[in-house]
Structure 1
Amino acid sequence: MGTFLLLMAEAAAVGGELAEGAEHSGFGLNTNILETNLINLAIIITVLFVFGRKVLGTTLKSRRENIETAIKSAEQRAAAAAKQLQEAQQKLTQAQAEATRIKAEAEESAKAAQKVILDQAAADIQRMQETGAADLNAELDKAIAQLRQRVVNQALQKAEAQLKAGISEDAQTTIIDRSIAQLGG
Protein backbone atom coordinates (compact mmCIF):
# COMPACT_ATOMS: atom_id res chain seq x y z
CA MET A 1 0.00 0.00 0.00
CA GLY A 2 2.90 2.29 0.79
CA THR A 3 4.38 1.78 -2.68
CA PHE A 4 1.11 2.67 -4.22
CA LEU A 5 1.04 5.97 -2.30
CA LEU A 6 4.58 6.69 -3.35
CA LEU A 7 3.66 6.06 -6.98
CA MET A 8 0.69 8.39 -6.64
CA ALA A 9 2.87 11.11 -5.17
CA GLU A 10 5.29 10.78 -8.08
CA ALA A 11 2.48 10.91 -10.59
CA ALA A 12 1.14 14.05 -8.93
CA ALA A 13 4.57 15.66 -9.08
CA VAL A 14 4.90 14.81 -12.75
CA GLY A 15 1.45 16.19 -13.41
CA GLY A 16 2.32 19.40 -11.56
CA GLU A 17 5.51 19.88 -13.58
CA LEU A 18 3.62 19.35 -16.82
CA ALA A 19 1.03 21.90 -15.80
CA GLU A 20 3.76 24.35 -14.84
CA GLY A 21 5.52 23.89 -18.15
CA ALA A 22 2.28 24.38 -20.03
CA GLU A 23 1.68 27.74 -18.36
CA HIS A 24 4.99 29.19 -19.47
CA SER A 25 5.31 28.09 -23.01
CA GLY A 26 2.06 26.53 -23.99
CA PHE A 27 1.91 22.95 -25.05
CA GLY A 28 5.14 21.11 -25.74
CA LEU A 29 7.30 18.10 -25.04
CA ASN A 30 10.01 18.16 -22.44
CA THR A 31 12.86 15.92 -23.58
CA ASN A 32 15.01 16.40 -20.52
CA ILE A 33 15.09 13.03 -18.75
CA LEU A 34 15.98 14.49 -15.36
CA GLU A 35 13.19 17.05 -15.41
CA THR A 36 10.54 14.62 -16.48
CA ASN A 37 11.48 12.11 -13.71
CA LEU A 38 11.55 9.20 -16.11
CA ILE A 39 14.37 7.67 -14.14
CA ASN A 40 12.39 7.91 -10.92
CA LEU A 41 9.37 6.40 -12.62
CA ALA A 42 11.47 3.59 -14.06
CA ILE A 43 12.91 2.86 -10.62
CA ILE A 44 9.47 2.92 -8.98
CA ILE A 45 7.99 0.68 -11.66
CA THR A 46 10.92 -1.74 -11.34
CA VAL A 47 10.62 -1.79 -7.55
CA LEU A 48 6.89 -2.32 -7.80
CA PHE A 49 7.38 -5.06 -10.35
CA VAL A 50 10.05 -6.88 -8.33
CA PHE A 51 8.59 -6.52 -4.84
CA GLY A 52 4.95 -6.22 -5.85
CA ARG A 53 5.20 -9.44 -7.78
CA LYS A 54 6.38 -11.24 -4.65
CA VAL A 55 3.65 -9.68 -2.48
CA LEU A 56 1.01 -10.22 -5.13
CA GLY A 57 2.31 -13.75 -5.73
CA THR A 58 2.15 -14.67 -2.05
CA THR A 59 -1.28 -13.08 -1.73
CA LEU A 60 -2.56 -14.95 -4.76
CA LYS A 61 -0.90 -18.17 -3.56
CA SER A 62 -2.53 -17.91 -0.11
CA ARG A 63 -5.84 -17.03 -1.76
CA ARG A 64 -5.50 -20.06 -4.05
CA GLU A 65 -4.67 -22.31 -1.07
CA ASN A 66 -7.69 -20.94 0.81
CA ILE A 67 -9.92 -21.60 -2.20
CA GLU A 68 -8.49 -25.12 -2.63
CA THR A 69 -9.05 -25.80 1.07
CA ALA A 70 -12.60 -24.48 0.83
CA ILE A 71 -13.26 -26.63 -2.26
CA LYS A 72 -11.86 -29.76 -0.57
CA SER A 73 -13.92 -29.01 2.54
CA ALA A 74 -17.04 -28.51 0.41
CA GLU A 75 -16.35 -31.78 -1.46
CA GLN A 76 -15.93 -33.61 1.86
CA ARG A 77 -19.18 -32.12 3.18
CA ALA A 78 -20.93 -33.03 -0.09
CA ALA A 79 -19.62 -36.61 0.16
CA ALA A 80 -20.73 -36.80 3.81
CA ALA A 81 -24.14 -35.40 2.91
CA ALA A 82 -24.47 -37.90 0.05
CA LYS A 83 -23.53 -40.72 2.42
CA GLN A 84 -26.08 -39.50 4.98
CA LEU A 85 -28.69 -39.22 2.23
CA GLN A 86 -27.99 -42.79 1.13
CA GLU A 87 -28.22 -44.02 4.73
CA ALA A 88 -31.47 -42.11 5.23
CA GLN A 89 -32.87 -43.60 2.01
CA GLN A 90 -31.91 -47.09 3.20
CA LYS A 91 -33.57 -46.44 6.54
CA LEU A 92 -36.66 -45.13 4.74
CA THR A 93 -36.77 -48.26 2.58
CA GLN A 94 -36.42 -50.45 5.67
CA ALA A 95 -39.11 -48.46 7.49
CA GLN A 96 -41.46 -48.79 4.51
CA ALA A 97 -40.83 -52.56 4.37
CA GLU A 98 -41.45 -52.81 8.11
CA ALA A 99 -44.64 -50.75 7.78
CA THR A 100 -45.83 -53.03 4.97
CA ARG A 101 -45.07 -56.11 7.08
CA ILE A 102 -46.86 -54.65 10.11
CA LYS A 103 -49.85 -53.71 7.96
CA ALA A 104 -50.02 -57.26 6.52
CA GLU A 105 -49.81 -58.74 10.02
CA ALA A 106 -52.51 -56.36 11.24
CA GLU A 107 -54.78 -57.34 8.35
CA GLU A 108 -54.20 -61.04 9.07
CA SER A 109 -54.89 -60.60 12.78
CA ALA A 110 -57.98 -58.50 11.97
CA LYS A 111 -59.28 -61.25 9.68
CA ALA A 112 -58.59 -63.87 12.35
CA ALA A 113 -60.31 -61.72 15.00
CA GLN A 114 -63.24 -61.15 12.65
CA LYS A 115 -63.56 -64.91 12.08
CA VAL A 116 -63.41 -65.59 15.83
CA ILE A 117 -66.02 -62.90 16.50
CA LEU A 118 -68.31 -64.20 13.74
CA ASP A 119 -67.91 -67.79 14.99
CA GLN A 120 -68.64 -66.66 18.55
CA ALA A 121 -71.66 -64.68 17.37
CA ALA A 122 -72.95 -67.69 15.41
CA ALA A 123 -72.48 -69.90 18.49
CA ASP A 124 -74.23 -67.31 20.67
CA ILE A 125 -77.13 -67.13 18.18
CA GLN A 126 -77.37 -70.93 18.08
CA ARG A 127 -77.30 -71.11 21.88
CA MET A 128 -79.95 -68.38 22.13
CA GLN A 129 -82.13 -70.19 19.61
CA GLU A 130 -81.77 -73.44 21.54
CA THR A 131 -82.47 -71.66 24.82
CA GLY A 132 -85.45 -69.91 23.25
CA ALA A 133 -86.76 -73.20 21.84
CA ALA A 134 -86.28 -74.89 25.21
CA ASP A 135 -88.04 -71.99 26.95
CA LEU A 136 -90.83 -72.13 24.35
CA ASN A 137 -91.20 -75.90 24.81
CA ALA A 138 -91.23 -75.47 28.58
CA GLU A 139 -93.90 -72.77 28.30
CA LEU A 140 -95.87 -74.92 25.86
CA ASP A 141 -95.67 -77.91 28.22
CA LYS A 142 -96.71 -75.67 31.09
CA ALA A 143 -99.64 -74.29 29.08
CA ILE A 144 -100.70 -77.82 28.06
CA ALA A 145 -100.47 -78.96 31.68
CA GLN A 146 -102.60 -76.00 32.76
CA LEU A 147 -105.17 -76.75 30.05
CA ARG A 148 -105.31 -80.42 31.10
CA GLN A 149 -105.73 -79.36 34.68
CA ARG A 150 -108.63 -77.09 33.68
CA VAL A 151 -110.25 -79.80 31.55
CA VAL A 152 -109.91 -82.26 34.40
CA ASN A 153 -111.32 -79.72 36.85
CA GLN A 154 -114.22 -78.92 34.54
CA ALA A 155 -114.86 -82.62 33.92
CA LEU A 156 -114.85 -83.26 37.66
CA GLN A 157 -117.17 -80.34 38.26
CA LYS A 158 -119.52 -81.58 35.55
CA ALA A 159 -119.37 -85.12 36.91
CA GLU A 160 -120.10 -83.88 40.42
CA ALA A 161 -122.96 -81.82 39.09
CA GLN A 162 -124.40 -84.82 37.27
CA LEU A 163 -123.95 -87.04 40.31
CA LYS A 164 -125.75 -84.56 42.46
CA ALA A 165 -128.52 -84.35 39.92
CA GLY A 166 -128.61 -88.09 39.75
CA ILE A 167 -127.95 -90.50 36.98
CA SER A 168 -130.82 -91.60 34.88
CA GLU A 169 -131.53 -95.33 34.42
CA ASP A 170 -130.59 -95.28 30.83
CA ALA A 171 -127.27 -93.59 31.62
CA GLN A 172 -126.57 -96.11 34.40
CA THR A 173 -127.27 -99.02 32.06
CA THR A 174 -125.05 -97.54 29.37
CA ILE A 175 -122.20 -97.02 31.84
CA ILE A 176 -122.50 -100.57 33.17
CA ASP A 177 -122.54 -102.01 29.66
CA ARG A 178 -119.46 -100.06 28.69
CA SER A 179 -117.63 -101.11 31.79
CA ILE A 180 -118.44 -104.76 31.17
CA ALA A 181 -117.37 -104.48 27.53
CA GLN A 182 -114.07 -102.97 28.59
CA LEU A 183 -113.45 -105.71 31.10
CA GLY A 184 -113.72 -108.22 28.36
CA GLY A 185 -117.09 -109.59 28.55
Structure 2
Amino acid sequence: MGRPKQPDISEHLLDQCTDHALEHGLPDRLQPFIDATGTSARMLLYHFGTRDDLLRAVLRRARQRHLEYLGAMFSVVPGERYTSTLARAWVAMTGPQARPFVRMFDQLTEQHDSALWPGLRARATTDWLTPLQAGLATIDRAESATLVLAVFRGLILDIDATADVDRADDAFGLLLRTLDPEAPRISRDEGTVKSPTSA
Protein backbone atom coordinates (compact mmCIF):
# COMPACT_ATOMS: atom_id res chain seq x y z
CA MET A 1 0.00 0.00 0.00
CA GLY A 2 1.36 3.40 -0.98
CA ARG A 3 1.94 6.15 1.52
CA PRO A 4 -1.13 8.46 1.74
CA LYS A 5 -0.74 11.97 0.38
CA GLN A 6 -0.43 14.75 2.95
CA PRO A 7 -2.89 17.60 2.22
CA ASP A 8 -0.78 20.21 3.99
CA ILE A 9 2.19 19.42 1.75
CA SER A 10 -0.01 19.51 -1.36
CA GLU A 11 -1.46 22.88 -0.31
CA HIS A 12 1.99 24.32 0.33
CA LEU A 13 3.29 23.13 -3.02
CA LEU A 14 0.19 24.48 -4.78
CA ASP A 15 0.60 27.89 -3.17
CA GLN A 16 4.27 27.99 -4.22
CA CYS A 17 3.39 27.02 -7.80
CA THR A 18 0.59 29.58 -7.90
CA ASP A 19 2.89 32.33 -6.60
CA HIS A 20 5.38 31.46 -9.34
CA ALA A 21 2.74 31.40 -12.09
CA LEU A 22 1.30 34.75 -11.04
CA GLU A 23 4.74 36.32 -11.12
CA HIS A 24 6.10 34.67 -14.27
CA GLY A 25 3.12 33.22 -16.16
CA LEU A 26 2.01 29.64 -16.70
CA PRO A 27 5.02 27.51 -17.68
CA ASP A 28 4.90 25.08 -20.60
CA ARG A 29 6.88 22.45 -18.65
CA LEU A 30 7.37 21.36 -15.06
CA GLN A 31 10.92 22.63 -14.51
CA PRO A 32 9.95 26.18 -13.42
CA PHE A 33 7.61 24.71 -10.80
CA ILE A 34 10.35 22.31 -9.69
CA ASP A 35 12.74 25.24 -9.25
CA ALA A 36 10.10 27.34 -7.45
CA THR A 37 9.20 24.60 -4.96
CA GLY A 38 12.61 23.04 -4.49
CA THR A 39 11.10 19.61 -5.02
CA SER A 40 11.18 17.05 -7.81
CA ALA A 41 8.98 16.27 -10.80
CA ARG A 42 8.17 12.94 -9.19
CA MET A 43 6.89 14.66 -6.04
CA LEU A 44 4.78 17.16 -7.98
CA LEU A 45 3.22 14.40 -10.07
CA TYR A 46 2.66 12.32 -6.94
CA HIS A 47 0.61 15.12 -5.38
CA PHE A 48 -1.17 16.44 -8.48
CA GLY A 49 -1.27 13.67 -11.08
CA THR A 50 -0.21 15.09 -14.44
CA ARG A 51 1.31 18.36 -15.57
CA ASP A 52 -2.11 19.49 -16.83
CA ASP A 53 -3.71 18.53 -13.51
CA LEU A 54 -1.18 20.73 -11.75
CA LEU A 55 -1.82 23.62 -14.15
CA ARG A 56 -5.57 23.26 -13.58
CA ALA A 57 -5.02 23.33 -9.82
CA VAL A 58 -2.85 26.45 -10.16
CA LEU A 59 -5.49 28.19 -12.28
CA ARG A 60 -8.21 27.36 -9.78
CA ARG A 61 -6.12 28.61 -6.86
CA ALA A 62 -5.28 31.81 -8.75
CA ARG A 63 -8.96 32.31 -9.60
CA GLN A 64 -9.86 31.77 -5.94
CA ARG A 65 -7.35 34.44 -4.90
CA HIS A 66 -8.64 36.78 -7.61
CA LEU A 67 -12.23 36.44 -6.43
CA GLU A 68 -11.20 36.93 -2.80
CA TYR A 69 -9.24 40.07 -3.69
CA LEU A 70 -11.87 41.64 -5.94
CA GLY A 71 -15.03 39.82 -4.88
CA ALA A 72 -16.25 42.52 -2.53
CA MET A 73 -15.28 45.40 -4.81
CA PHE A 74 -18.57 45.43 -6.72
CA SER A 75 -20.76 44.91 -3.64
CA VAL A 76 -23.05 47.69 -2.47
CA VAL A 77 -21.62 49.66 0.46
CA PRO A 78 -24.36 51.09 2.70
CA GLY A 79 -24.36 54.86 2.53
CA GLU A 80 -22.00 55.04 -0.45
CA ARG A 81 -23.11 56.05 -3.93
CA TYR A 82 -22.49 53.14 -6.28
CA THR A 83 -20.38 55.12 -8.73
CA SER A 84 -17.95 55.75 -5.85
CA THR A 85 -17.84 51.98 -5.33
CA LEU A 86 -17.11 51.48 -9.03
CA ALA A 87 -14.39 54.12 -9.02
CA ARG A 88 -12.63 52.38 -6.14
CA ALA A 89 -13.06 49.00 -7.87
CA TRP A 90 -11.52 50.44 -11.04
CA VAL A 91 -8.42 51.65 -9.17
CA ALA A 92 -8.04 48.24 -7.51
CA MET A 93 -8.59 46.21 -10.68
CA THR A 94 -6.04 48.22 -12.63
CA GLY A 95 -3.49 48.51 -9.82
CA PRO A 96 -0.32 46.50 -9.28
CA GLN A 97 -1.93 43.88 -7.04
CA ALA A 98 -4.43 42.86 -9.73
CA ARG A 99 -2.00 42.92 -12.67
CA PRO A 100 -0.61 39.37 -12.18
CA PHE A 101 -4.13 37.93 -12.42
CA VAL A 102 -4.85 39.82 -15.65
CA ARG A 103 -1.56 38.65 -17.12
CA MET A 104 -2.15 35.01 -16.21
CA PHE A 105 -5.69 34.78 -17.56
CA ASP A 106 -4.77 36.71 -20.72
CA GLN A 107 -1.94 34.23 -21.29
CA LEU A 108 -4.41 31.36 -21.06
CA THR A 109 -6.59 33.07 -23.66
CA GLU A 110 -3.65 33.60 -25.98
CA GLN A 111 -2.70 29.93 -25.74
CA HIS A 112 -6.30 28.89 -26.54
CA ASP A 113 -5.73 26.22 -23.95
CA SER A 114 -9.40 25.83 -23.01
CA ALA A 115 -8.81 22.16 -22.19
CA LEU A 116 -7.21 23.25 -18.91
CA TRP A 117 -10.45 24.86 -17.71
CA PRO A 118 -13.33 24.71 -20.18
CA GLY A 119 -15.61 27.72 -19.84
CA LEU A 120 -13.14 29.77 -17.80
CA ARG A 121 -13.23 32.78 -20.12
CA ALA A 122 -17.02 32.98 -19.96
CA ARG A 123 -17.11 32.40 -16.22
CA ALA A 124 -14.41 34.99 -15.58
CA THR A 125 -16.67 37.49 -17.35
CA THR A 126 -20.11 36.60 -16.06
CA ASP A 127 -18.99 36.18 -12.43
CA TRP A 128 -19.15 39.96 -12.10
CA LEU A 129 -22.53 40.60 -13.74
CA THR A 130 -24.80 39.79 -10.79
CA PRO A 131 -23.10 42.12 -8.26
CA LEU A 132 -22.84 44.83 -10.93
CA GLN A 133 -26.55 44.60 -11.69
CA ALA A 134 -27.41 44.76 -7.99
CA GLY A 135 -25.16 47.77 -7.45
CA LEU A 136 -26.25 49.67 -10.53
CA ALA A 137 -29.88 49.08 -9.56
CA THR A 138 -29.29 51.41 -6.60
CA ILE A 139 -28.85 54.28 -9.09
CA ASP A 140 -31.54 52.94 -11.46
CA ARG A 141 -28.98 51.75 -14.03
CA ALA A 142 -29.14 47.96 -13.66
CA GLU A 143 -29.46 47.60 -17.44
CA SER A 144 -25.96 49.06 -17.82
CA ALA A 145 -24.18 46.14 -16.12
CA THR A 146 -22.98 44.55 -19.37
CA LEU A 147 -21.79 47.93 -20.67
CA VAL A 148 -19.86 48.67 -17.46
CA LEU A 149 -18.27 45.23 -17.47
CA ALA A 150 -17.29 45.58 -21.14
CA VAL A 151 -15.66 48.96 -20.44
CA PHE A 152 -13.79 47.50 -17.46
CA ARG A 153 -12.45 44.64 -19.57
CA GLY A 154 -11.69 46.75 -22.64
CA LEU A 155 -9.81 49.44 -20.75
CA ILE A 156 -7.82 46.87 -18.76
CA LEU A 157 -6.66 45.41 -22.09
CA ASP A 158 -5.89 48.95 -23.27
CA ILE A 159 -3.68 49.57 -20.23
CA ASP A 160 -1.97 46.23 -20.77
CA ALA A 161 -1.20 47.16 -24.39
CA THR A 162 -0.28 50.84 -23.97
CA ALA A 163 0.48 51.41 -20.26
CA ASP A 164 -1.49 54.68 -20.62
CA VAL A 165 -3.28 54.58 -17.27
CA ASP A 166 -4.19 58.28 -17.28
CA ARG A 167 -6.10 58.00 -20.55
CA ALA A 168 -7.91 54.90 -19.33
CA ASP A 169 -8.78 56.65 -16.05
CA ASP A 170 -10.25 59.55 -18.03
CA ALA A 171 -12.32 57.17 -20.14
CA PHE A 172 -13.63 55.26 -17.13
CA GLY A 173 -14.41 58.52 -15.36
CA LEU A 174 -16.43 59.60 -18.40
CA LEU A 175 -18.43 56.38 -18.19
CA LEU A 176 -19.15 56.98 -14.49
CA ARG A 177 -20.34 60.55 -15.15
CA THR A 178 -22.55 59.26 -17.96
CA LEU A 179 -24.16 56.86 -15.52
CA ASP A 180 -24.38 59.38 -12.70
CA PRO A 181 -23.69 63.14 -12.81
CA GLU A 182 -22.68 62.91 -9.14
CA ALA A 183 -19.94 60.37 -9.84
CA PRO A 184 -16.56 61.13 -8.20
CA ARG A 185 -13.32 61.77 -9.99
CA ILE A 186 -10.77 58.97 -9.97
CA SER A 187 -7.60 59.68 -7.99
CA ARG A 188 -4.65 57.31 -7.94
CA ASP A 189 -2.54 59.65 -5.83
CA GLU A 190 -4.57 58.65 -2.79
CA GLY A 191 -5.53 55.22 -4.12
CA THR A 192 -9.14 56.29 -3.73
CA VAL A 193 -11.66 58.66 -5.27
CA LYS A 194 -12.43 62.34 -4.98
CA SER A 195 -15.81 63.99 -5.03
CA PRO A 196 -16.63 65.86 -8.26
CA THR A 197 -16.20 69.16 -6.40
CA SER A 198 -12.72 68.36 -5.04
CA ALA A 199 -9.89 70.61 -6.21
Q: For the pair shown, which has the larger CA radius of gyration, 1 or 2?
A: 1
Q: Structure 2 length normalisation: TM-score?
A: 0.19
Q: Structure 1 length normalisation: TM-score?
A: 0.20
